[in-house]
Structure 1
Amino acid sequence: MVPIESMFRLLVFTILLASVKFSTTEQFDVDEQISDVNPNDGTIQKYVEEQSKGWIEQGDQRQPKVNVKLELTKLNISHAWDSSWPTKTRQLGSVSAVSFDNNGNVVVFHRGDHVWDGSSFNYDNVYLPRSKGPIAANAIIAFNRKTGEVSYEWGNGMFYMPHGLTVDHENNVWVTDVALHQVMKFSANNRTKPELILGTAFQPGNSLKKFCKPTAVACLPDGDFFISDGYCNARIIKYSRTGERILSWGQNSFSGHAFDHAPRNFFAIPHALTLATDLGLLCVADRENGRVQCFHTDNGTFHSQYHSGIVGDRLFSVAYAPINGGQLYVVNGPLLGHSADNAVLGFVIHMQSNKVIAKFGPNDGVFENPHDIIVTPDGNEIYVAQYAPNIAFKFMSKTPATSNAIKTFPNNSALKPSVTLDNNTMTSSETSELETTATDAQASQQILFIIGLFISFICITLFAVWVIRRRKLDSRNRRRHAWDFPTVKTDFKLGNLLERKRGFEKLDQEASDEEPNSSTNALLSSAQFA
């Protein structure tokens, strides 16, 4: 007879398979506790290989086989450009960043008469035209969201090469300067002297006290904050409210090992940050990998990633709006040295479905060099900073959303929205289905899976009965069959089915201040200056 123990094993395995299936189909349940990788240990090569393989096995869509031009024509244009905003009386330099203050003004960070080009830095990432002095004009200008007139301005004689700017929930202003290799915090009551400075002026490094071209800051409601560092180091660092380092993660996919698809926790310029506080996530614009990676804000572990062949392989900035289950707003950039079908546009990504659902651009056309993006919590207004030509864009939703999104700025000003989109920005065939498709499809899949399990079990049982009856009939014959002889029993251990691989160790938080030799300068020199 067929051993009952074998049937029991099969039943247990089927039940476990079902439980795993259901746990992975829950909304946003894509968490994988991937710890930080120590760049100095001997597991880095194995880590890269395993993560790259895992990415492909899980359905890598970094280069989907789609007709990009055709797919772009299918996307609805969600927002229209307001060409009258801001006032034309104020000339801007290269606009590198944009944020909201607590009064709803749009705050831009621009470079005045300073330009980042091939002569700005040497191969050691040291800023060369230091003798030119800081930017003489006010580098920070706030515009009224409605009228476009200047509300206030400040920051003359302070900055050399502005990059990122964020206004937090307390109206503190955080900036990054890639020439100074510093991050500065200006309190709401004092815009003339930084309350906090991190990094050493004009000294690039990779240590506890030094950055190398830091790019952006994101602040949590409790005062903790994140820094993306940046062009050279490709790491994310979390700090306490007082500036004490809590944790760090990230590796540079420009250096060390070559692979077609960058694994998780690897960055090719972490260029911008946005917080999805309602989801407990920090999302990073992984620029040269053309994707957004999202991580848990409490411990920095990987949560999810978003990439589309429609967007392309360069993604400059990301913002978030808490509508329709979470939407990301992103801007891409021109491909270097390639003739591609990808257009330089803004895109809206629906996080639950991981689909691009809309597009936008000036005059329903394309950008040239967009650099940063923000969006209002209801998704109705989008602002884009462009560094060449020097423009700050305002876009208004063609079909204003009426949702349960958080609408007050003081508690959400630190949330930089990303390519998101409400139902009205989707293609006509998807508009009425977005809200119901995810839940209905999930329920249908679960029901079908359960039915399939029961049918499979019944078939297996019937087959076992048939085998038993056949063996009884055959036993009357003189010839003996191999399966008539007893088999060797083995111990069944349920724990063997539950065995999982162990994660990696976290990065050493007490690393020395000694700076390693950079091996990425030649590779980084090919990246566009931004």
Structure 2
Amino acid sequence: MKKTRRHFIKNTLVASAAGFILPSETFGIINPTKNMSSIVGHGNFTYNVDKEWGVQDPSKTPVNDCHEMVMDSNGHILMTTTGTNNDNILVYDKSGKVLKSWGQEFPGAHGLSIMGEGKDQFLFITDPDSHKVWKTTLDGKILMTLSRPKEIDGYTEDEQFKPTETAILPNGEFYVADGYGENYIIHYNANGEYMNHFGGTGNKSNEFNCCHGITLDTRDKSNPTLLITSRASQEFKRFSLNGQHLETVPLPGCSICRPVIHGDNLYFAVIVTKTWDSWDGMLAVLDTDNKVVSLPGGDAPQYLNGVLQEPIYDGKTFRNPHDVLIDNDGNLYVPQWASGKTYPIKLNRI
């Protein structure tokens, strides 16, 4: 799956250089017209789509692949985007205005996690291209840098470490998911010192096929666990904090990025359903029983004998959505990968 993803990127760049014409739907980058007429989702999770929410002047605020978004305690929205000639972190307000941008140290900026309160909030940024993880302040001061964990025999070269995501515990300990590398989940203490690891590449219950995303699930406050995607296998897994496999939840047809929890519900960006060679994807909303209850950007979720049937992309809403951020009003913000350098869009909860 990783080779396929890179193959798609290479083909996209070649096509662009040859004058490949993008579809007429430009998501508001050129000659924007306000578009709030599209309604997506199902049941209690339906939304009006605003494709112009995050649109900027690309000559002033350029983006490439937009990967992930988090919200700080002031309601500001931070987003990672790739590139060597642009800032890799954009900071939006809720209206879609860019307040500032910073950081050109993270050209492959991918995962973005936030923790802490008020002035003590901090970020973790993963970059599989630079083979590093950074801890920073909200304005970009680097506090910690991690490279490949030499304590693990599975790594012999720095380039094998291609981290995609982090999950942070309240005590400052954190986990790094090496989703584009060796598929280990590495556990560190608050000082960035190696503690232990689990996982690895494979199809066993305690292994992963692209552990792209990880999050701490505290919905059961007495028993916090880790949710970890195995994206190429179209499933996610639950582990104890010490790395014991607890359950696997298949989502057929859904190549899911990272788990995002809001209230009692679990959200995923489904980056693709059928093929990496064309724009695709949707969002998935799951209840506490891990049943899909809404598929914004796709057809209504259907189950047959308890098994989710592969969803169908609506052909218009998204271009490879890579993450989803949920605000306190239940609105969704969605950055997109390999989408023709589009800016994030917003789904207003109905």
The TM-score normalised by the length of structure 1 is 0.48
Superposition deviation, residue 74 in structure 1: 10
* Structure 2 counterpart of 1:251, one-letter code: G
Structure 2 distance, partners of 1:237, 1:248, is 4
After the TM superposition, which residues 16-31 of structure 1 pair with which residues of structure 2 at under 5 Å, given as runs? Answer: none
**3-state SS of the aligned residue for 2:323?**
strand
Amino acid at match of 2:296: F
Report the equivalent of 1:375: 326
User: Pairwise mapping of residues 14-413 of structure 1 onto structure 2 (< 5 A)?
Assistant: 75-76=42-43, 78-89=46-57, 90-112=61-83, 135-145=84-94, 147-156=95-104, 158-169=105-116, 170-188=120-138, 191-192=140-141, 194-199=142-147, 206-207=154-155, 210=158, 212-253=161-202, 262-279=203-220, 280-297=224-241, 299-309=242-252, 312-323=253-264, 326-336=265-275, 344-352=281-289, 354-361=290-297, 365-376=316-327, 378=328, 380-389=330-339, 390=341, 391-398=343-350
Match of 2:6 in 1: none
- Return the letter of the residue paired with 1:344: G
Q: Is the 8 A contact 1:180 1:200 kept in 2?
A: no
Which whole-Å CA distance do the structure 1 matches of 2:111 and 2:100 have between them?
A: 19
Maintained 8 Å contact 1:317/1:332: no
User: Where in structure 1 are there 5+ consecutive unaligned residues?
Assistant: 1-72, 113-134, 254-261, 399-530
Taking structure 1 as reference, are residues 80 and 294 closer, same or farther at Cα in structure 2, changes over 3 Å only? farther
Q: Supply the distance in 2 between the matched residues of 1:252 and 1:355 (Cα, whole angstroms).
A: 27
How many Å apart are 1:75 and its aligned residue? 4.5
Shift of 1:200: 5.7
Write the letter of the residue equivalent to 1:380: G
Counting aligned pairs with the same residue, the percent is 24
Counterpart Cα distance in 2 of 1:225 and 1:208: 23
Q: What is the rounded CA distance, in whole Å, between the counterparts of 2:320 and 2:269 in structure 1?
A: 13
Provide the residue aligned with 2:303 in structure 1: none
Distance 1:233 1:95 in 2: 23
Q: Could you say what secondary structure the match of 2:140 adopts?
A: coil
Change in CA separation of 1:379 and 1:250 when aligned onto 2, cut-off 3 Å: farther
Q: Aligned in 2, Cα 1:200/1:265: closer, same or farther, shift over 3 Å? A: closer
Report the CA distance between 1:289 and its aligned residue: 0.8
- Contact 2:268 2:323 (C-alpha < 8 Å) held by counterparts: no
Which secondary structure state, in structure 2, belongs to the residue aligned with residue 151 of structure 1?
A: strand
Distance 1:148 1:338, change over 3 A: closer
Q: Does the Cα contact within 8 Å between 2:267 and 2:283 map onto a contact in 1?
A: no
> Alpha-carbon deviations, 1:254-290, whole Å to 9, x = none?
xxxxxxxx33222111111222223312211211011
Of Structure 1 and Structure 2, which has the larger fraction of its residues in strand?
A: 2
Q: Which moved more, 1:101-110 or 1:270-279?
A: 270-279
Q: Structure 1 residues 217, 74: closer, same or farther in 2, change over 3 A?
A: closer
1:124 aligns with: none
Counterpart Cα distance in 1 of 2:226 and 2:234: 17
* Letter of the 2:147 counterpart: G
Match of 2:29 in 1: none
Cα distance in 2, alignment partners of residues 337 and 278 from structure 1: 33
2:24 maps to none
Measure the CA separation in 1 of the matches of 2:276 and 2:283: 21
1:87 Cα deviation from its structure 2 partner: 4.0
The answer to whether the Cα contact below 8 Å between 2:42 and 2:296 also exists between their aligned partners in 1 is: no
What is the DSSP-based 3-state SS (H/G/I as helix, E as strand, rest coil) of the residue aligned with 2:73? Answer: coil
**Distance in 2, Cα, partners of 1:397 & 1:142:** 22
Q: 1:244 to 1:206 in 2, by over 3 A?
A: same
Partner of 1:29: none
- Looking at structure 2, the residues matched to 304 and 379 of structure 1 have their Cα atoms a distance apart, in angstroms, of 31
Root mean square deviation of aligned Cα? 3.0
Q: Deviation per CA, 1:357-407: give whole Å up to 9, x if none.
A: 01113997442212222223x570222221222331221211xxxxxxxxx
Greater relative contact order (CA < 8 Å, ≥ 6 in sequence): 1
Offset at residue 150 of structure 1 (A): 1.3
Q: Deviations over 1:312-356 (max 9, x none)?
A: 152223211122xx43334241434899xxx7211111132x311
Q: TM-score, length-normalised on structure 2?
A: 0.71
- Partner letter of residue 368 of structure 1? R
Q: 1:168 to 1:144 in 2, by over 3 A?
A: same
Q: Return the alpha-carbon distance in structure 2 between the equivalents of residues 172 and 74 of structure 1.
A: 33
Amino acid at match of 1:270: C
Residue 9 of structure 2 corresponds to none
Contact 1:216 1:273 in 2 (8 A): yes
**How far does residue 96 in structure 1 lie from its aligned partner after superposition?**
1.8
Change in CA separation of 1:208 and 1:231 when aligned onto 2, cut-off 3 Å? same
Question: How far apart, CA to CA, are the structure 2 residues paired with 1:207 and 1:74?
Answer: 43
**Alignment partners' CA distance in 2, 1:355 and 1:208:** 40
Q: Residues 209 and 148 from structure 1, CA distance in 2 versus in 1: closer, same or farther, beyond 3 angstroms?
A: same
SS at match of 1:162: coil
Would the aligned equivalents of 1:237 and 1:249 in 2 still touch at CA under 8 Å?
A: yes
